[in-house]
Structures are given as C-alpha cells and as structure tokens.
Amino acid sequence: MKRLFHLTIAIMMFATVSAVDLEPAELEYLQLKWKQPISEWIKHRQGFGMNGAFYIRDNQQGIISRWDENGEDSTFVLEGGYRGHAVTCDEAGNILTRIDYGWPGGWEVGAPAIRVFPAAGGDYIDSSLPVDAFNNWGENGRMDYFGFAEGNVMEEGALYIISQHAHTFFKIAFLKGKVNPNASGAVAYAGANIGASVEGGSTCDDVINAYIAADGTRHLLYVSRSIEPVDITYDEQSHIYVGETALLPGHAHLPFIIPIRGFSNGVYPFALGGHNFFLYPAKLPEDAMYLDGFAIAEANADIPITFMPATCSSAANGIQANWLNAEPVDESKAIIYQYYPGGHIAVYEFKLKQSSVAIKGDVNSDGKVNVSDVTALVNMILGVIPKDMTRADVNGDGKINVSDVTALINIILGII
C-alpha cells in the first residue's frame, strides 16, 4: 500500500494527459423482449419503465398500475379517489405522483399535491406545494409533470416542471421524502431566456427530464410540443444554471427528426458505456405523428444508431404519442420501455458492441488500461481536466477520489 501511495504522489506531480473522446457507439442489437396490449388510452396517458416493469397512472380509477410480461400484476391505490395522470420516478426509483381532484386544472395551493411512494416500500408521503416559494402558483395554470426527477427524493432530490402560463421552470425540491419549500422556487437561469423561448408554446404536456451525462455533468432536457429542445447543464451544489450544453447545443435543432406535435412526446436521454444517447419517438413515415416507431441516436450524431419501425399502420389514438425511457442495466446494455397509448406496452433490449463500450479503468479512452489512465484520473481529481464519471469512478461508488486511483492501480497490477 505504501508503494502504491508513493506511485500515486509521483504521478500527481507530472499529471498532464487529457481525456480522449470515445469512438461512436456501435449497435449489437435492439430486440423486443415482451409486449402487452393496452387499449384504453383515455384512462392511461403516460408512464415510465423501471426494474423490468412499466408503471402507468389510470386517471379514472385512481391507481398506478404495474405491468410486466404477465400483464397487469399489482396496483398502488391512490387513496382518496384522486384522478390525473402525472406520474414519474427519480434516480433511486421512488415514485412521484400528483394527488388532487383538479385534473386537468392547475395546482391547488395549500392542499396535498404530491405523493411519494418510497422505492424501499413502506408508507407513502404526501406534501403540499411550497406556497411561500410560489405565491402565484394558483394562477400558473396546468402543471402536469412528465419526465424524470433528479436524485433520491427520500434523501435529497428535485422535480422540475413548467407552468402553463408562467413560462418559467419551477424546481420542487425534496428532502427526506417531503417537499422542501426552502429550496424550491422558480429556476434562475443564466443562459438564454427560457421564459421568452416558451412563450405561447408552454403547455402542460412539456417534458423535462433530469439526467446525468456520461461525463457526470447534470442536465435538464426540456422538450415542448412547440419549440426546439433545450438542454441545460447546471452546478450540482449551488443549482445555479451555468448555460447550455454541447450535447444538444443551444436551442439548435436536434441532428435528427422528432415529431413536432405528437402531444406529450419527449426525448429521453441516457448514458451507456461512456456514450450519451437520446431515445425519441420517430417521425416515420414522414407524415405520421402518432405511430409507435422510435429511434436511438448518440449525442450529436448525424443519424440514429438504430431505429425501430412502427408496428401499426394508423394512429391508435389522436391525442398522445409514444412514451419511452431507457434504463441502463450494465456497461453495454439498456432496457427500453415503451407505452404507446391505445396500443401496447413493450420492452426492448438495447445492446452495444463490447468494442465500443468504455473499458473499466480506461480513463483516457484510448482502449488500453495503463499508467496513462492513472495520470488522467489524477488530473480529473485535481480538476485539471473535466471529471468523467463513467470512466473515472473506477470503484463504482459514485465519487471520484483517491480510492479510484488505488482501484485503477490494482487493475493495472492485475490484483483485481
């Protein structure tokens, strides 16, 4: 151990190597795992997949259904007869859902509004809206939420939404399962004026996803039915927005086509094997808005890495589009979840060729694991080059520090 320590110090003294970008990802396969018909789209508008199952809110019965390859197998009853369809989860798998009778109206100030079902089980937790932080909340119109929440709301996390009339992002902060009014409020945004961007186009059906890119930076991806997607990075500690990211540069168009008005369509980001991907409902054939095809593209790619053609020839409904999300399960594989309203719930497996997946310990992305990676890792720890969570968190504990240097040296020495 002492020898490793001295080696570490020696390397820290001449650390200069930069990280190198990965080659474009290559597809191994995209295949259907299971599919269940679900036809009553008026009851089921939106949902998300997690741990091999799909969760969907039934806005007539007041339940959240869980679907897997055997069909509908259990429900969360929303005691109180609450209607509505807003349901999502955070990075830890806690389920967040809206509770009130106002669907599809605005939030009701002072009444319980958000319910959290802890991933670990146990009693649900209800919260009211942070009235002090949103003193005109009641005037802000419909604020359904679609997309994914940040962090672990049972510890610390946040749900981002946009109001129908205020044209502003709102952050609803959570601490230990409850809404934390002290950290909630309208999002101060240092880049272009999002409020102006969404004016006239902001609706309840906009999607805001909180996600972590392959380099560990935190993002919000905002997709509206009427404006171009906006991808925003921000500082994790202060939650001060620092501008727009290069993944979807500025307000520029995505380098691929998404439907511009498939209601509630989204673009669902995920990181896998050191690459950033976007999963989105595909607009093919060109004039079809409500079919069930989808595509997966790498960030800034010219063409998608793969495309799943539509299985229907006419839209199963005329109001909602294709709900999609991806869940990485290991370094090369992700599960793709799809809810096609009026049609089906389907689950696919998306696999990258091993040759295009980041090798454990290959911090500088040159395809080899050697002392240059120790240099790159130390540079990341020292802040000389940007931290790349996918590559630098060698021991997989969610942090980048000297323990990763030890883990990396053990790999190089063949100890593990």
Residues in touch with Ca ion (CB under 5 A): 362, 364, 366, 368, 373, 393, 395, 397, 399, 404
Query: Least Å distance between CB 401 and Ca ion?
Result: 6
The residues near 285 (Cβ < 8 Å, ≥ 6 apart) are 291, 310
- Whether 375 contacts 17, CB under 8 Å: yes
57 versus 391: smaller Cβ distance to Ca ion? 391
227 versus 374: smaller Cβ distance to Ca ion? 374
Q: Which residue has the tokens 């599809």?
A: 104
36 versus 370: smaller Cβ distance to Ca ion? 370
Exposure class string for 377-400: b at 16+ Cβ within 10 A, else e: bbbbbeeebebbbbbbbbbeeeeb
36 versus 395: smaller Cβ distance to Ca ion? 395
Show the tokens assigned to 308.
């799943």
33 versus 399: smaller Cβ distance to Ca ion? 399
Query: CA quadruple 203, 206, 210, 213: dihedral positive or negative?
Result: negative
Query: Least Å distance between CB 21 and Ca ion?
Result: 13
129 versus 411: smaller Cβ distance to Ca ion? 411
d(CA 339, CA 217): 28
Query: Least Å distance between CB 16 and Ca ion?
Result: 15
Query: Least Å distance between CB 376 and Ca ion?
Result: 7
DSSP state for residue 127 in the 8-state scheme: E
The residues near 326 (Cβ < 8 Å, ≥ 6 apart) are 268, 270, 272, 277, 279, 296, 334, 335, 336, 337, 350
Query: Least Å distance between CB 336 and Ca ion?
Result: 28
3-state class (DSSP) for residue 168: coil
Query: Least Å distance between CB 93 and Ca ion?
Result: 21
Query: Least Å distance between CB 392 and Ca ion?
Result: 8
326 versus 407: smaller Cβ distance to Ca ion? 407
d(CA 392, CA 398): 10
| Nearest one of 348, 285, 341 to 316, comparing CA atoms | 341
Query: Least Å distance between CB 399 and Ca ion?
Result: 5
58 versus 373: smaller Cβ distance to Ca ion? 373
Position 75, amino acid: T
206 versus 404: smaller Cβ distance to Ca ion? 404
Query: Least Å distance between CB 95 and Ca ion?
Result: 28
| Nearest one of 8, 2, 6, 14 to 409, comparing CA atoms | 8
List residues bridging with 212 in a β-sheet: 218
d(CA 141, CA 167): 10
Q: What is the DSSP string of 175-222?
A: ETTEE-GGG-EEPP--SS-HHHHHTTT--TT-EEEEEE-TTS-EEEEE
Query: Least Å distance between CB 400 and Ca ion?
Result: 6
- Whether 241 contacts 232, CB under 8 Å: yes
Residue 230 is inside which H or E element, if any? strand 230-234
258 versus 394: smaller Cβ distance to Ca ion? 394
| Nearest one of 387, 379, 367, 407 to 11, comparing CA atoms | 379
